[in-house]
Amino acid sequence: MNNPKKTILDEHAAGFILGELSEEEFRALCDSPAMERTKSLNECERIASLVALADADQNEPMPEKLRDAVTATGRSLVAEWTAKPVVSVGARASQGRLRETVAWLACLAASIIAILFWQNPRREPEQAATPPLTRESLIASASDLIQVRWSEGKTPWEQKVTGDVVWSNKMQRGFMRFVGMPVNDPTIEQYQLWIIDPSRDDEPVDGGVFDISATGEIIVPIQAKLRVNQPTAFAVTIEKPGGVVVSTQERLPLLATVAKKKWIRTQIGPSDLPAGFSKVE
């Protein structure tokens, strides 16, 4: 048999959730037995927890056990609330009925929404993706573009290799273009780019290790390991797999020097080049 006093207490708890308790009802809730009041308020807190769970921004599917637990909780709360008769006390009858109806509907809705929101998490508005930088876009956008052609280094190949280097100091980005570059076996040897920048120190800047897999036109992004201030030349060496920290430049097939007007002794003379790198007219 249902306890009318317990039902009234539950109605007061539901009214507390809706924020519509009168002073008299609030005092009645406060004056109710502590254990029973705590139990009723705990039921309210379970509802709030389910709603909070539904509103959480989840990026992973809800675990099966948790989904079953949420569903079971919702069903048990619905069964518990619907089994309780509404006690009509004068003008409070319709208000109590509304509270009880809202309370058990909130339980059901919270359970369903929790599952739906977890399975279909809210997505942040997608921002327009920045297109990747390409050689063409760098040439079109860089106001300080440096573009120099490859020429033979101190150990050239028998076959002619053409192409160029494009570089932007402001963006610290660049690309190498090769046509007819010999294909390498990366398990035996790899190519490595060096950026000659006398304004830094005597050692060139490592521009990255790379491979050539085809004899046609190949575009390779430059990956400078340090900031480049004033590049005067770009050199390609052949090194062991993985590259080296300091190159002996024993095998230097390609070199690209910056515009000849910059090769003046008062700024960057041939004597400023690192050992092993020769000026190419």
Task: Verify that 106 and 201 share a domain, yes or no.
Answer: no
Closest CA to 238 of 273, 218, 204, 212: 212
Residue 163: which domain range?
A: 135-272
Task: Verify that 97 and 184 share a domain, yes or no.
Answer: no
Task: Verify that 155 and 237 share a domain, yes or no.
Answer: yes
Residue 223 falls inside a structural domain = yes
Strand, coil or helix: 78: helix
Task: Verify that 100 and 145 share a domain, yes or no.
Answer: no
Residue 227 falls inside a structural domain = yes
Of 57, 86, 119, the residue that ends a domain is 119
Residue 124 falls inside a structural domain = no
Task: Verify that 160 and 100 share a domain, yes or no.
Answer: no
Task: Verify that 74 and 147 share a domain, yes or no.
Answer: no
Q: What residue type is assigned to position 250 of the chain?
A: E
How many degrees, rounded to 5, is the angle at CA 232 between CA 227 and CA 233? 95
> CA separation (Å) from 197 to 63, 156, 206, 267, 273?
57, 22, 11, 12, 8
Q: What is the pLDDT along the chain (281 residues), one digit of tens a residue?
A: 456 666 676 776 666 655 666 777 777 767 777 777 777 767 766 665 655 555 555 555 666 766 666 666 656 655 565 555 544 444 444 555 555 555 555 555 555 555 545 555 555 556 667 789 999 999 999 999 999 999 999 999 999 999 999 999 999 999 999 999 999 999 999 999 999 999 887 789 999 999 999 989 999 999 999 999 999 999 999 999 999 999 999 999 999 999 755 433 333 334 444 444 444 44
Domain count, the chain: 2
